[in-house]
Amino acid sequence: MIPTLSYAAAAARAPLAPYRFERREPRDKDVVIEILFCGVCHSDLHTVRDEWGKGSYPIVPGHEIVGRVTRVGKDVKKFKAGDLAGVGCMVDSCRECANCKDDLEQFCMKGATFTYAGKDRHDDTPTQGGYSSQIVVDEAFVLSISDKLDLAAVAPLLCAGITTYSPLKHWKVGKGSKVGVVGLGGLGHMALKLAHAFGATVVQFTTSESKRADALRLGADEVVLSNDEAQMQAHAGTFDFILDTVSAPHDVNAFLQMIKRDGTMVLVGVPDVPPTIPAGSLIFGRKSLAGSLIGGIAETQEMLDFCAEHGIVSDIEKIDIKDINEAYERMLKSDVKYRFVIDMASLNKAA
């Protein structure tokens, strides 16, 4: 077994604190990764505070992982010691169902094995995430990381990046598309960068005039105040595609009115209060309302390669792991531009 340092939640309302546990010795197809950086996702906070009903403690969160390979199993073909590598939201799936065979492991019909708060498919032990010194993952779920970009800023691509890249790609956003982005946070700022890189005309919806300059810097061609009726009406019925990244309750119908005939609005945020959608909002204009969940491993690698080619990373604030509880409170107040990333070199000092 591999002794591992980490920060974990011991209970739903407990602050994260140093925790020692053991990772498995690498199986024949496993890759052992020393974790260099780990992004902080809102999902981490939801999970450790048991807001999604997944509580099985202790929980080591973290699924935006970038590191360096230290060991590999005897049958590993894609990685060797010294390689840069990443791990996202999943570490396994059944690999046999129709969705897995279509490279859509996130929709595994038997349930994907998530990086933390999951169960290992081989021995039923709990999976533990990236707020830790190392991780052991089957090579089929390990991503190659380019050395062209700031590794800390690459980490959030493993969740925020693929969560926004996948729907943009699936709904064929590109040159000639008019795209709206709702929400300017960890997900929204990546949606702006990626939609712009895809060649679309991108409009940022916000309720705050103070966000205009940042939205334009990140790739928006225009900024619309969604609480200004005149500005909204000026764009009504003109969007091919809208990506809604907001996880707080809000009026989805207001944005459905922005979509043109046969347009699509996709939700990637999960508000704790379900939206109410009058049928007429969809029927009049043959509009579609859809959802999207991260992406499969092949698409995640495609996204990482695309970002390396176009110089795209997340805007981050780097923190030491001892400051993670404060970072959670700041995240609740949207007091970060736009993603916290833990420098895991700080773990030895903190643990």
pTM of the model: 0.96
Cβ contacts of 304 within 8 Å, gap of 6 or more: 86, 143, 144, 145, 146, 154, 157, 161
Model pLDDT, residue 351: 66
- Average pLDDT by consecutive 10-residue portion of the chain (351 residues)? 96 94 97 98 92 85 98 98 98 98 98 96 95 98 97 98 98 98 96 98 95 96 96 97 93 96 95 88 96 98 98 98 97 93 92 66
Q: Pick from 341, 308, 301: which is nearest to 65 by CA?
A: 341
CATH architecture for segment(s) 2-159+295-300+313-350: Alpha-Beta Complex (3.90)
CATH of domain 161-291: 3.40.50.720
C-beta separation of 310 from 197 below 8 A: yes
Domain borders along the chain are 2-159+295-300+313-350, 161-291
Enter the tokens of residue 143. 């991503």
